């Protein structure tokens, strides 16, 4: 009950702010008289508004259902729509609250898997470029992986897996670029730590291949011929047919010469 009261209070504040902002932006456009409509009619209005990008009307419609009629058969649908409306205006904290409310308060709802997926989607949409802090990226990976493991037959699983690949690529790129930074600072030992980590942890990304190539080059620059040859060989064996493997073959041949 405490969570519900907290969410309801947060919603009231957000709804008031959204209403004031939207009325100013839209020149005080009329709002449907939801009190005169059935729950089904209200939901249809909210669904149509969401599709049209009218987040103000969508939010108000879904709030009316979830706040006033939590036992109605459309209450879980309204929560999902409300979360989607918040997510579309980048209010990710509110979206997460609403999706989690659906999951917790309606555990038997057939919409729970989609809500779980959309919690991960909210994290994914907040994941920053590789150069920045990647804690949200890791959070998104954990959530999307948990969803995919829990609901392998969901139609959203493939998209979740694709997004995990993209997110892992961001993590790999960050570590790869850290390695390149240490090379530019003439600290090859520190660079190798990053390159080895990327090659071992993210072999399924382009950054894993590039890290192996830079690792071989670092060994070559230090005069560690055997270790450079081993890195080149690993690259060619693990990633045949790639541009990096072709480069490794050429550089390895020159090394032997």
CA distance linking residue 66 with residue 86, whole number of Å: 14
pLDDT tens by residue, 126-145: 999 888 889 999 999 999 99
pLDDT of residue 20: 43
Q: What is the mean pLDDT of the chain?
A: 89
Please tell me which residue, 15 or 142, carries the higher pLDDT value.
142
Phi, psi dihedrals of residue 236, rounded to the nearest 5°:
-70, -35
Q: Pick the closest to residue 232 from 244, 248, 253, 218 (CA basis).
A: 248
Q: Do the domains spanning 1-109 and 173-256 agree at the CATH topology level? A: yes
pLDDT of residue 28: 39
pLDDT band at 25 (very low <50, low <70, confident <90, very high): very low
pLDDT at position 10 over 60: no
How is domain 1-109 classified at the architecture level of CATH? Alpha Horseshoe (1.25)
Are 59 and 85 contacting, i.e. CB atoms less than 8 angstroms apart? yes
CATH class of 173-256: mainly alpha
Q: Pick the closest to residue 55 from 47, 64, 67 (CA basis).
A: 47
| pTM > 0.85 | no
Domain ranges across the chain: 1-109, 173-256
pLDDT of residue 257: 58
Are 235 and 223 contacting, i.e. CB atoms less than 8 angstroms apart? no
């Amino acid at each position: 009950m405490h969570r519900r009261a907290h969410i309801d209070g947060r919603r009231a504040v957000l709804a008031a702010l959204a209403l004031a902002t939207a009325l100013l932006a839209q020149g005080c456009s009329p709002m449907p008289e939801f009190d005169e409509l059935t729950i089904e009619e209200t939901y249809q209005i909210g669904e149509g508004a969401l599709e049209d990008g009218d987040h103000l009307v969508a939010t108000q419609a879904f709030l009316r259902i979830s706040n006033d009629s939590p036992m109605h058969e459309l209450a879980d649908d309204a929560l999902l729509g409300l979360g989607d409306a918040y997510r579309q205006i980048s209010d990710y904290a509110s979206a997460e609250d609403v999706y989690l409310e659906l999951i917790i308060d309606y555990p038997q709802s057939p919409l729970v898997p989609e809500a779980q997926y959309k919690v991960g989607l909210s994290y994914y949409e907040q994941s920053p470029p590789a150069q920045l802090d990647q804690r949200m990226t890791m959070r998104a990976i954990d959530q999307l992986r948990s969803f995919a493991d829990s609901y392998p037959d969901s139609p959203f699983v493939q998209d979740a897996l694709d997004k995990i690949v993209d997110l892992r690529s961001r993590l790999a790129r960050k570590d790869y670029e850290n390695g390149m930074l240490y090379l530019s600072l003439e600290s090859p030992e520190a660079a190798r730590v990053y390159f080895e980590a990327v090659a071992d942890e993210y072999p399924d990304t382009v950054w894993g291949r590039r890290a192996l190539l830079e690792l071989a080059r670092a060994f070559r620059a230090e005069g560690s011929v055997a270790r450079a040859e081993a890195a080149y060989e690993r690259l060619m064996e693990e990633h045949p047919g790639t541009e990096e493997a072709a480069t490794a073959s050429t550089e390895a041949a020159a090394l032997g010469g």
